[in-house]
């Protein structure tokens, strides 16, 4: 089965704390792509990052970093020194086979000032 | 780049009525997707167009749902004989890709929130 699990439904942190959003995926395919999207209150999902299944190199972009581990089928997302503007719903997504992308249920992040 | 535009933003209708939503993708994007999102869930794939051709449809898309992209630009999603279970946010996304590439990032619109009374 192809599946994305985001076990954390909601996370609440205080500004400047670090926070990690977990993502576990299942797929039978050997070639696949993983994504993270952010959905702010306005509703429009915004692309954050893409990784392919052959590239396990971790990535850092400003305060954002991603840890991809094929051995545990995980693609976790860390925000360092969180800010109020980071408050949103974050979705992990998996693209496999054809052109369909499946999304996890999302993690709602609240960052309090 | 004006982004993906969806109209209307909100639609309230009575059960049994037909509704139509429109999506205008980013102008040069050749792929267009429709997703449905219910409260507390991630987007669920409905259908996908490569230019004007509808290449894939989800089993979620019953016979009451039809989507078109007549000239490979804007797309419409029609729901006939709406049911309360159709209430959801309908999201459109577009992307620019070449050949059979499947790793492109999606650009989403703000969605159309449908409420069926």
Shortest Cα distance, chain A CAs vs residue B75, angstroms: 18
Q: Per residue in B43-84, pLDDT tens?
A: 999 999 999 999 888 888 889 999 999 988 999 999 999 999
- Predicted confidence at residue B100, as pLDDT, reads 61
Query: B65 vs B46, B47, B61, B84, CA distance in Å?
Result: 10, 10, 6, 14
pLDDT tens track for B101-111: 666 789 999 99
**Distance (Å, whole) CA B48 – CA B54:** 6
Mutate to test the interface with B, among A42, A44, A53, A107 (most CBs of B within 10 A): A44
For residue B84, the SS3 value is helix
pLDDT at B28: 87
Beta carbons of B106 and A99 less than 8 Å apart = no
Contact state of B44 with A103 under an 8 Å Cβ cutoff? yes
* CB pair distance less than 8 Å for B105 and A50: yes
Please answer yes or no on whether B55 and A99 come within 8 Å at the CB atom: yes
> What confidence tens digit (pLDDT) does each residue in B25-49 have?
999 899 999 999 999 899 999 999 9
Q: Which residue of A has its CA nearest to B113?
A: A43
CA distances to A10, A53, B111 from B5, in Å: 29, 32, 8
């Amino acid at each position: 089965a192809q599946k994305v699990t985001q076990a954390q439904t909601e996370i609440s942190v205080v500004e400047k704390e670090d926070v990690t959003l977990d993502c576990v995926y299942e797929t039978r395919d050997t070639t696949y792509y993983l994504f993270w999207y952010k959905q702010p209150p306005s509703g429009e999902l915004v692309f954050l990052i893409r990784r392919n299944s052959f590239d396990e190199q971790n990535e850092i972009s400003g305060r954002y970093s991603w840890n991809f581990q094929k051995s545990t089928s995980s693609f976790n997302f860390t925000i360092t020194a969180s800010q109020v503007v980071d408050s949103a719903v974050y979705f992990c997504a998996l693209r496999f086979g054809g052109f369909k992308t499946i999304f996890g249920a999302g993690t709602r992040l609240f960052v309090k000032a | 780049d004006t982004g993906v535009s969806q109209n209307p933003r909100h639609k309230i209708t009575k059960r049994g009525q037909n509704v139509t939503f429109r999506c205008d993708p980013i102008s040069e994007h050749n792929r267009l997707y429709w997703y449905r999102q219910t409260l507390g869930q991630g987007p669920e794939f409905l259908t996908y167009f490569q230019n004007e051709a509808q290449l894939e449809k989800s089993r979620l898309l019953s016979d009451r749902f039809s989507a078109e992209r007549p000239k490979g630009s804007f797309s419409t999603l029609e729901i006939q004989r709406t049911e309360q279970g159709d209430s959801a946010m309908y999201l459109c996304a577009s992307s620019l890709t070449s050949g059979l590439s499947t790793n492109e990032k999606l650009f989403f619109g703000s969605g159309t929130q449908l409420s069926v009374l």
